[in-house]
Amino acid sequence: MVRQHLTDFELMILLAVLRIGDQAYGVPIAREIEETARRSVLLGAIYTALDRLEENGLVTSTYGDPTPARGGRAKRFFKVTGKGLKAVKETQRAFTALWSGIPQLKGGTA
Amino acid sequence: MNPQNLAFKLLGLLAPGREALAGDLLEQVQKGRSALWLWRQVIGAIVTGCIRDVREDRIGALKVVAIGWATMLGFFFIAGDFLAHSGDQTVPRLLSYLGAHHAGVLWLERLRYVPATVIGCVLSGWIVGRPVLFYAASVCVALAVAATAIAWYAAPVSVPHTLFYVVMLALPYWWWSGLLIVPLLIVVGGLWRVASSEPLGTKGTLW
């Protein structure tokens, strides 16, 4: 069964991929999350989540050319699909709806 | 083999098909990331990969655990006594020679059970360590059962005969080593099998 909403980690990854654009592979995705969300992440966990997102059709991946700096291994670039973008928007809508109407979270006094 | 190469070798064996990840890690190491960082990433990748694979095939994981434990306990049942008794003469002589009895270090006699434990655990890992599967589940359960066996031993309540050899590595003197050694031996057996087999692919059922 495909879940309708994303986990917070999946959402962060999709947003990071969208922010980075064409050069979205493991290292920049991890850096983007660490710098922007201030959350320490494991590259392995990012790839595991991206594999899951790809299986659900939310991202696609393509391989670049192998480089000597990577021991002859290619970079795996990710791109968010239309379905992925829809899932991000839906998750944002759900979070925003949950967020509204909570007095403790108004005026930055959370 | 230096620690960095060992980390990449382990990643290749325990998280097959993660070439892009290995490339990312190498890229970062060459940019100055520490060995500690690399090991943290490799262990994390192995653990997350295992969790993913077990979640994808829970029944297969259960089979792996059952087969691993059946192998280990079956071996203990069939060959445990033979291996343990084969040291009946040599171990006391060795201890006498070392002066262990005079020093009151009688627990060293339990060393005679170590060969059975080592062979049983390694064999169990070897059996389940097929190229396309992870045997993390067996390791986790080995850990859990070893802990249970220790609890039984410490109670003290008698343990089933075949678990005796597992408990032997978790003597009160070596309390924590039993928790580490039993799963470690299973991993060693699994790695041995994986390293000596042709990889069948990156996807597939656990068993």
Q: What is the mean pLDDT of each run of 10 residues along chain A (110 residues)?
A: 76 97 95 93 94 95 91 94 96 90 72
Tens digit of each residue's pLDDT, chain B (207 residues): 688 889 998 888 777 778 899 999 999 999 999 999 999 999 898 888 877 877 777 787 777 778 877 888 888 888 877 877 776 667 677 767 766 665 555 556 666 777 777 888 888 888 877 644 555 555 656 656 665 665 555 554 455 555 555 555 544 445 455 556 777 777 777 777 777 766 544 444 555
What is the ipTM metric for this complex? Answer: 0.86
Structure confidence at residue B173 (pLDDT): 44
List, for residues A73-87, the tens digit of each pLDDT value: 999 999 999 999 999
Structure confidence at residue A100 (pLDDT): 87
What CATH code would you report for A8-101?
1.10.10.10
Please answer yes or no on whether A26 and B24 come within 8 Å at the CB atom. Answer: yes
Per DSSP (E only), the strands in B33-148 are: none
CB B25 within 8 A of CB B8: yes
Name the residue facing B21 among A43, A52, A67 (closest C-beta): A43
Three-state helix/strand/coil letters over A3-63: CCCCCHHHHHHHHHHHHHHHHCCHHHHHHHHHHHHCCCCCHHHHHHHHHHHHHCCCEEEEE
Structure confidence at residue B191 (pLDDT): 74
Residue type, B87: G
Structure confidence at residue A75 (pLDDT): 95
Q: Which residues of B touch A (CB under 8 A)?
A: 15, 18-28, 30, 40-42, 44-49, 51-52
Please answer yes or no on whether A27 and B27 come within 8 Å at the CB atom. Answer: yes
Structure confidence at residue B202 (pLDDT): 46
Please answer yes or no on whether A27 and B44 come within 8 Å at the CB atom. Answer: no
For B40, the closest chain A residue by CA position comes to A42
Q: Among A70, A75, A77, A78, pick the best mutation site for testing chain B contact (most B Cβ within 10 A).
A: A70
For A28, the closest chain B residue by CA position comes to B24
Structure confidence at residue B15 (pLDDT): 76
- Chain B environment of A69 (Cβ under 8 Å): 26-27, 30
User: What pTM value is reported for the model?
Assistant: 0.70
- Chain B environment of A25 (Cβ under 8 Å): 20, 24
CA dist B7 and B45 (Å) reads 11
Domain boundaries, chain A: 8-101
Strand partners, A79: A60
* Chain A: closest CA distance from residue B27 (Å): 5
Nearest to B16 by CA among A6, A16, A44, A29: A44
Nearest to B46 by CA among A69, A44, A58: A44
Domain boundaries, chain B: 1-56, 57-207
Structure confidence at residue B206 (pLDDT): 52
Name the residue facing A42 among B18, B27, B45 (closest C-beta): B45
Name the residue facing B48 among A26, A45, A70 (closest C-beta): A45
Residue A78: enclosing H or E segment and its boundaries?
strand A76-80
DSSP string, B174-192: GHHHHHHHHHHHHHHHHHH
Q: In sequence order, what are the residues at sequence separation of 6 or more whose Cβ sits closer than 8 angstroms to the Cβ of residue B21?
A: A26, A43, A44, A47, B11, B15, B45
- Chain A environment of B4 (Cβ under 8 Å): none
Structure confidence at residue B157 (pLDDT): 45
CA dist A71 and B71 (Å) reads 39
CA angle B84, B87, B90 (to 5 degrees): 165
Radius of gyration for chain B, computed over Cα atoms and rounded to the nearest angstrom: 20
Q: What is each CA distance from B159 to A84, B58, B163, in whole angstroms? A: 54, 29, 7
